[in-house]
Amino acid sequence: MGSAVRRSGGTRATLAAALAASILAPFAGGALAQASAPAAAWPTKAIRLVSPFNPGGAIDVLNRVIAEKLGQRLGQQVIVDAVPGANTIVGADVVAKAAPDGYTFMITTMSTHVNNTVLFRKLPFDPVKDFAPITQVSLGSVLLTAPGTAGYSDLKGFIAWAKQQNRPISYGSWGIGSSANVYGEILARDHGVSLTHVPYKGEQPAITDVIGGSLDVTFASPVGAKPQVQSGKLKAIGMTGPGRSSAMPDVPTFAEQGYKGFELPIWVAAYAPAGTPKAIVDRLQKEIAAVIRLPDVLPKLIEQGQTPLGNSPEEFAASFARDAPKWIDFIKASGAKPE
């Protein structure tokens, strides 16, 4: 089975409640109430968009598309700085410690402010106090992939095959505590499969290892896996999320195949350092929302399996309040922990 956290029920419940309260704190008004004075003549120089992922990964690709168009709208270059590592912690720490002047922000996954808060006992930044939320950029889903030569093509076949092996089955993700890590642990726990988690710094190295035969399966984004699925090097076994992805509509969801617990969507969001003037936060939100709906950008999001949002900080707050506690329970129920 996958790795498991061993805590008493009372301790787990208390920790879950405390984590939920701390994660939701910035949306209760504090972090959204940055200085309201207008930012003078912003921007006047290039802006740094920190991408806490390996170059070429799904969100890094998305960040580069957004950066190009955002720069055109703002009249200043938006430079993507890939800072991967530790399930987005390394890149997020750069943003947390950056000057709150509007010239540094990041676009990251929910792992930064949900998963990592639960699964890492100590972070180099305060996820509540050190960031100003800008917008939820999109909702997304990921798929489980296997080698193109695998003798199975769906989840039922994969689980049957896995149980026949006399060893743990290795599965890849883009980091300890990532949504893919959680999905794998729940798959192991609920369906009696012996799995070993192999964390990578991004999805592309994991995909390469599945194709090469040194990794059994991996979770991946549609944009990362689709070319290899189309070429026959990979098989798409199932899609997480509440519905099929527009990027790969022929791939059934886990739920459609009879495997529940994988329906919650993951999200991508933009954050600035805490203390960034609200006028700049609002401008970034407005421009990002416009960029992701451009006719030459929207299809790229859909191809990645992303549904564009671009909501306001207040709408982000409501969505976060609804879904973050569910994810906390989801993560804790999986038994996933830092390895």
Q: Which residue is listed with tokens 């909702």?
A: 139
| CB < 8 Å & 24+ apart, contacts of 285-293 | 285/134, 285/135, 285/310, 285/312, 285/313, 287/70, 287/73, 287/74, 288/66, 288/70, 288/134, 288/135, 288/137, 289/135, 290/73, 291/66, 291/69, 291/70, 291/73, 292/66, 292/137, 292/138
pLDDT interval class at 170 (50, 70, 90): very high
Tell me: the pLDDT tens digits for 196-208? 999 988 889 999 9
Tell me: the pLDDT tens digits for 153-166? 999 999 999 999 99
Q: How far is CA 335 from CA 155, 218, 308, in A?
A: 21, 19, 31
Helix (H, G, I), strand (E, B) or coil at 70: helix
Measured distance CA(204)–CA(207) in Å, rounded: 5
Instruction: Determine how many CB atoms are found less than 10 A away from the CB of residue 13.
Output: 12
Tell me: the pLDDT tens digits for 283-325? 999 999 999 999 999 998 888 778 899 999 889 888 888 888 8
DSSP character for 112?
Answer: G
- Give this prediction's pTM: 0.73
pLDDT interval class at 338 (50, 70, 90): low
